[in-house]
Structure 1
C-alpha cells in the first residue's frame, strides 16, 4: 500500500500483525537508501524505530493508514540515533498513551533526559505482552554499535527486529524476501564498517541465533524470511577476528 506517492512511502505486512513502513530517501550522491519502521498492531500497539525527525509527516501518515496513531502504546528504539528515535517526541505528542521502549542502559544514559515522557526500560531477556504478540528484549552492547544497543523479537511470529544488522543499500522496493541479503549487506558493511567488533560480538550474535528467528525485520533494506539462525551465524563468522 502506497501511503505517499510523492515520497514513495509504503506499508506492507511482513508477518501476522507486523507492518513495515518504508521510505526511500535520496543520499547526497543521488543514490536511494531505505528507512524502515515496524508497526506491531495489537491491543497495545508498538512502533520500532521512529525514523528521523524530518520523516515524521510521512511515518505518521503511514501509521494512520493502519491504525489510529493515538492508539500507540510503545515507541521502541535500538539505540540513540536519528533514524532510531529522531521523531520520538513528535510521536509522543500525538500518541498520549505512548512511552519510549528501550534497554536499561539507553534509559539511563539518554532517553530519561531526551524523551518528553519517561521510558519503559527493558532488562535483557525480559518479555512484554502486547496482547497477541509477546516481545522479548535482548541487550546487544556494541552490536553493531553503541553501548546502549538492544534488539527485540516477537515470540509469536519469531520476527527479530534486527535494526542495523543486514543493512542493504538501495530503495528496497521488496518488503519481504527469501533471496540472499547476506551478500548485499556484507558488501554495504565493508564500504564503511559500522560494527564495533567488540569482544562479545560473536557471543551476542550466537545468542540471537539460538532464538531461531524466521523473519528478520531489517531497518534499512528488505525484510527477510528463512533460517534466521543460519543467517546470524554467517554474520558472526564474518565479523569475528580470523
Structure 2
C-alpha cells in the first residue's frame, strides 16, 4: 500500500492483477469510527475507473490514479448506481480524460446520465461485456440491490474480481486494502444500524446469480476488499437478508 496524499490519508494498493484499490478515510455523521470511500482502477489498454468518488474528492483520486497511469489515458468511467460517491466527479473525470466515456447500465443512462454527463454514456445491457485489453468486464443488472433502480455490478473475468459496490460495506476509516477475514459480520452490523438496503424480494435470486460467477475477489466500495470464496460470501449475505 502506498500513501498518495499524506494530508487526507488517500492510498492505493493492487488487490488483483492490474486492479488497484484507491482509498480515502473520512468522518461522516452516524459512523463514529469513521468511514472510507474506495475507487477501483483497472489498468490496461483501455483503463477503467469504477466509482469516481465525490466531486470534492476528485483531486485526491486523480493524484492516486496518476501513481499507476496518466489520468488522461482513462477510457471508461464506470459506477454501480447514481450517488455522489459513485459518480459525483464524473464530469471532472470526463474533462481530465478527453477520450473517456461514462459506462453504466441502460437504466442509469436513461434516467440520469444522458442528462447529467457532459458526454453521452456507453449504456450496457444486462450481461454485456467490454474489452479493456488484458481485462474484460461484464455488466450485471441488480436493481435495488442494495438500492437504486439503476444498480448493477461489473465482473472482471480474468481475475474473477466482482466490483460489488455497496455490498459488504464496512464501517471504519482504516482498513487493510485486501483481507481474507470475515467482512459479512462487520457489514451486517453496519447495515442493521444504518439500513441502506431496499430489501427487494428478488435479492436472493440476484445474489445467487452473482455467486454463480464464482468471484475470488470482492472489490467493496467501503472498507477492505476481500479475497476467498466469493460465491460462499454472497450466498451468506443472501441468507442474512432473509432473517
Common fold: TM-score over 0.5: yes
RMSD: 0.9
Q: Distance in 2 between matches of 1:27 and 1:103?
A: 29
Aligned residue in 2 for 1:216 = 218
**In structure 1, distance between residues paired with 2:197 and 2:174:** 22
2: CA distance between counterparts of 1:229 and 1:10?
28
CA distance in 1, matches of 2:240, 2:219: 20
- 1:198 counterpart residue number: 200
Secondary structure of the equivalent of 2:173?
coil
Residue of structure 1 in register with 2:41 after alignment? 39
Unaligned runs of 5+ in 2: none
Other-structure match for 1:165: 167
Partner SS state of residue 56, structure 2: helix
Report the count of equivalent residues.
241
Instruction: Tell me, yes or no, if structure 1 residue 61 matches structure 2 residue 100.
Output: no
Q: Give the Cα–Cα distance (whole angstroms) in 1 for the partners of residues 148 and 196 of structure 2.
A: 10
Q: Distance in 2 between matches of 1:173 and 1:2?
A: 13
TM-score by length of 2: 0.97
For 1:228-239, list aligned pairs within 5 A.
Answer: 228-239=230-241
Q: Confirm whether residue 99 of structure 1 aligns to residue 101 of structure 2.
A: yes
- Residue of structure 2 in register with 1:22 after alignment: 23
CA distance in 1, matches of 2:100, 2:138: 19
Deviations 1:119-167 (A, max 9, x none): 0011111111100001011000000000000101100000000000000
- Describe the superposition over 1:197-240 as per-residue Cα deviations: whole angstroms up to 9, x where unpaired: 11211100000000000000000000000000000001111112
4+ residue segments displaced more than 3 Å: 28-31
What are structure 1's unaligned runs of at least 5 residues? Answer: none
